[in-house]
Structures are given as structure tokens and as C-alpha cells.
Amino acid sequence: MPPEIEPIPFPETRGEDSRIWLEAHGLRDMEPYIRSSDYGMIRRCPFTYYLSRRLGLVKGLRYSEALSRGTWVHHRFALVTLSDAEAKQTMYKILDNRLDELKLYCKDAGISSEGRREILHREEKDFLVSNAWFEAALSVPCVEGKTLGQWLLGDEWVHVGQELLIKQGSRVIQPDLLLYNKLNNKLWIVDFKTCAGSPHDRLQTCPYEFQTQHYFHTTRISMVCDDLLKVLELPSNAELGGVMHIGIRKPTIQYGMNDRPYHLNTSPLKSGPRKGQPRNTKVFAGEPSPDIYRERCIRWYHGLDEYEHLAPERVTDPPVNISYTHGVMLLAKDMQLMYHQRLDTIRTLRDCPCQPDQFEIGEVTSMTGKLPTYSPFIMGPVYKWPDMIKAGGFTVRNRDEAELQDGVHASFNHLEDVHG
């Protein structure tokens, strides 16, 4: 008979004994690549980085409307070179895949049929709303009188990569778009942002954000060391211009009953100071229409008709804005120092022993009053983590391995990267 294997005792600390115990129960170090979201996550809560990136814990159905709609807008942005019909067909294929994924999540989590319908309806609504936002934003003038759509498809630009996954050493990036300017032989990294407030204000801080710096330096090194220009079929002497940010303001108008088809009731009023004059009231019928909502978003963006009061603001603070962070700025000594200090911060936590006591726990409270996503692991003993994973609907996923194998596109991870 084979010798009996003694069970591993429960860990008494959050040190090496916890690491050994977790490994024996399938929670091993994912050895993650360095991504642009890592720095912000570490600044907020290093322990979240440990759980999410080192162990690969993902909450299956954690929902954020802003992240969900932002993801859908990024999908639509990646298809900007296609015709409307082609883009629509592709987007609905992506939606079908997403709904199939959610159905599987619901089944595994034991969610009721009513709960499942609500989740699927919410995703479809986010899909429709985000498409309307993006298509309406394409009509907004932004560069030399050209609309965003006209400018993106201008003769000077060649679209050479949509959501292209670029790996360089331990670093990975996936910019929204790579644009090559034929007129000045420069490659630009494009990042698309949806903004709750002023795009002008939002884009001002972009040069100092880790994402901008990480995108630029990873692409720059890949151009030199990894034949990126050859892969993109660009001239060998093409230069990296920098990072371009396109910000669009999210409409504050909601998709709903005001987007139903209607007719005007012009029957005369029977009393009051306007007696005899036509009522001119809208009589709605049927279900809300995404096309009607899109047209309403266009009027909102342009400050027309019922949104005429917004017209002055549209001039002083346009709802679509483009900023450029030039390479010469990002290569300045102080900017490079900032980037490498941040990179070292990530590397320290990426390379340290994969055990709980190596990672500081950030602020545990949540300003929303809700428990943070990973709070059970913060408050509970390590030996209960496998049970917490099952009870809380978490899965273990090696994001880097999955995306590098699949050549992935965009992630539908509507998680909040903070532990709150």
C-alpha cells in the first residue's frame, strides 16, 4: 500500500505556512505580467493586487454600470473603420457571446430564472445605450471643423491595430488603437475614454498617469527590440509620436420611456388662456427605440432643440476632446524617473513571496456603504478561503495566460479594481 500522505495543517500565520496551504488547495502564484491597471490597484490596496493578480481571484457577477458601458463603447470604437452595417453585425455577435457567458455564470452560481432575466436585460440595455453614445459622438466636430468620425477616417491616418495585445518582457499592454500618420511617419497610441464630466478636464492629467507612461514605454521598447514595426507593416524608420487620448462625455439623458415612438396630439384646447390652440403634446406608444435615443443623444451633444440651453457650454467645453502626450515629454528625465519608480513599486509586489503577509491591506471601509469585493478574504482566516471562493461566486482565472493564448480582444470584467 502507498504511504499515507499527512494532511497539511491549517496555517497559523499569514506567512509561508499560508502560502503552502493555499498552494495545496489550488491557489498558486499566477506570476502576472505588468499591466497598466496594476499601479492604481496597488496604490489603493496592495492586498487586492495579491488576491486579484497574484492569485487570480475574480468575482463572477460583480457589476458596475460605468465599467460595463465603458467596455461596450471601447468595443464599438475598435470597429470604427467598418461600415455601419458591418459594425452592427459584429457588435451583435459580441453581444450574443457575452449573453452566453452570463447565462453560464448564472447557471454555475445557481441564480434564479428571474435573476437571470434581469442580468441579461441589464447587459442588453448597456449595449444599446453605449452604441447610441458612441454613434452620436461621431457626429461632434472636434478637429478643424471635422467630426470625430470624419477625422478618425481621414486620409492621413492608417489604422494598424485595434486592441492589439503587445507583450514586451514582463510588460503587457492592450491599447484601444494604433494610428499611423502617413504625413509625418509617426505612430500614435490611442486611448479612448468616456467621461462623466468635462473631457477637457479629464484629459489634462493623462501625461502623468501610469497608463499613458506604460503604453508609451512598452510600445517604444517593442519597436526597438521586437520588430513591432515589421509586424504592423510600417516603415522601418517610423517614429513613435506619443499617446493620443480621445475623451467623450457620457450623455446625462437616460434611455427609457421618452424614447418610444410618438405622434403629436394637435387637437384644440377647450379651455384656458390657449383655448382653441393646438395641444401639440406627444402621445407615446410602444417600446423604447435605440434609434430614437441615439437621435436624442445627437441633439444633446450639439445643444439642439430641447437641449438648446446647453449650446453655450458646447462651445466653451466641447463634449468630445482630443489631447496629445508627445514622446518628447514622456522621455524627459523626470518623467522617465516617475515611470520607473512606479514600475519598481509593481515589480516589488509582483516578485515578492506569494503569501498574504507580504501585502498591506488598504482602507477596508467603503464610501458607498457596501462591503468591498474582497472583504471576506481580509477578515476571514486563510483556511476558509476555498469555502469563501465557492460561496462568494469567485473563480480563479489566469488572465494573462488566457489572453496571450487567445489573442484576446477586450475583457468583459466589470469588476471594481479596488477592494472597494
Give CA–CA dist 313/146, Å, rounded: 19
Map grid coordinates 513591432 to a residue.
Answer: 228
How far apart CA 86 and CA 98 sit, in angstroms, is 18
Mark residue 82 as left, alpha or beta (left: phi above 0; alpha: psi -120 to 50; beta: remaining): beta
Q: What is the dihedral of CA 67, 69, 71, 75, to 10 degrees?
A: -170
Residue 82 C-alpha cell reads as 467598418
Q: Which residues pair with 79 in a beta bridge?
A: none
Q: Where are the domains of the chain?
A: 30-59+344-406
What's the pLDDT at 407?
Answer: 43
- Residue-wise pLDDT for 242-257, tens only, equals 999 999 999 999 999 9
Give the mean model confidence (pLDDT) for residues 34-54.
96
Q: What is the pTM of this model?
A: 0.88
E strands present in 196-353: 239-249, 262-265, 281-284, 320-326
Work out the pLDDT band at 267, boundaries 50, 70, 90. confident
**Residue entry with cell 421618452:** 258
Tell me which residue of 416, 393, 414, 394 sits closest to 111, measured CA to CA: 393
pLDDT digits (tens, 9 = 90+) for 100-156: 988 888 887 788 889 899 999 999 999 999 999 999 999 999 988 899 999 999 999
pLDDT at 166 over 60: yes
Instruction: List, in order, residues 6 or more apart from 105 with CB less than 8 Å away.
Output: 60, 61, 111
The average pLDDT across 64-93 equals: 89
Reported as a pLDDT band with limits 50, 70 and 90, residue 317 is very high
Q: How far is the C-alpha of 142 from the C-alpha of 302, rounded, in Å?
A: 12
How, if at all, do strands 186-195 and 281-284 pair? unpaired
